Amino acid sequence: MPYQHIQFELAGSGVALVTVNRPDKLNALSRGVVEELGQAASQIAEDPAIRAAILTGAGEKAFVAGADINELAAFSPVEARSYALRGQQVFRKLETLGKPVVAAVNGYALGGGLELAMACTVRFAAENAKLGQPEVKLGLIPGYGGTQRLPRLVGYGRALEMLLAGEPVTAAEAWRIGLVNAVTPQAELLPYCRAWLDKVLANAPLALRMAMEAVDVGLSAGLEEGLRFEAAAFGVCAASEDRQEGTRAFLEKRRAVFAGK
């Protein structure tokens, strides 16, 4: 599928590398970028050869430095609401692919950029990264899920501190408060992401999907509903060929070879 605003590469390991490719604009999220991210999400979801994805930005300055301000400045209220809903839809699609998506935060992740990173399964950041939600400085609030995902990741107080001050945090501080999972030197960021995915993708695909879905259901529906879903998902996994292979391999002291069934 041809793209204009992103690059889409597929490695032999089954990991797609999706790169927002507007380095002259610090990879700002235009409508075109958001639409192509939605198309990429569909491609990842529908292609059985793709088992996971890494999402990053072109160059070494920015992951995604926010929305395209030229577009934001021209929106009517109705257009702004539509813009927010479309971005939320695309980011939610990324969040619920059933396949791990790693945000390789290689620089500024501000506004919509941080919202995009938070919609990924995990976030690994380069040492030079800065992350924040500066929308209040523009007379706005986050529109792509920032007010919802940020407190889920860092807690109520920390989230409001970032949302109301609008100031970015360093990669080290983002790690300290749980906003990112690890911090690496810039040159080691993508190798680190790939190494983590190598460990993850050695596990049973169905179990990975069920684990991610169980966490999502519990966070959105509450503990009781989450526990019910967990029990049902545990039953689905128990009936799978992968469970048979996994337990047999453990008993036979060999590495499991999963089929995703």
State mean pLDDT over 230-246: 91
Looking at 9, 46, 71, 135, which residue is catalytic?
Answer: 135
User: Is 60 among the residues known to form the active site?
Assistant: no
Residue 178 lies inside a defined structural domain of this protein: yes
Residues 111 and 221 in one domain: no
Measured CA to CA, the distance from residue 109 to residue 113 in angstroms comes to 5
Same domain (yes/no): 124, 93 = yes
- If asked whether residues 98 and 186 sit together in one domain, one would say yes
Number of Cβ within a 10 Å radius of residue 126: 23
Query: Looking at the domain assignment, is residue 261 inside a domain?
Result: no
Q: What is the mean pLDDT of residues 247-253?
A: 88
The reply to whether 37 falls in a domain is yes
Question: What's at 163, amino acid-wise?
Answer: L
Q: Is 135 a known active-site residue?
A: yes
Say if residue 176 is in the same domain as residue 212: no
Co-location of 51 and 166 in the same domain: yes
pLDDT digits (tens, 9 = 90+) for 44-83: 999 999 999 999 999 989 999 987 788 877 888 898 899 8
pLDDT for 247 equals: 85
Query: Which backbone phi and psi does 17 adopt, to 5 degrees?
Result: -110, 115
| 16 or 242, greater pLDDT | 16
Binning the chain into helix, strand and coil, the percentages to the nearest 5 are 55, 15, 30
For the full predicted model, state whether its pTM sits above 0.75: yes
Looking up tokens 């080691």 gives: 188
Q: Are 157 and 171 within one domain?
A: yes
Catalytic residue among 9, 95, 115, 167: 115
Do 186 and 243 have their domain in common?
no
Residue 1 has pLDDT above 70, yes or no: no
Which pLDDT tens digit goes with each residue over 11-42? 878 999 999 999 999 999 999 999 999 999 99
Pair 110, 213 in one domain: no
Q: Are residues 182 and 62 in the same domain?
A: yes
Domain extent at residue 107? 6-201
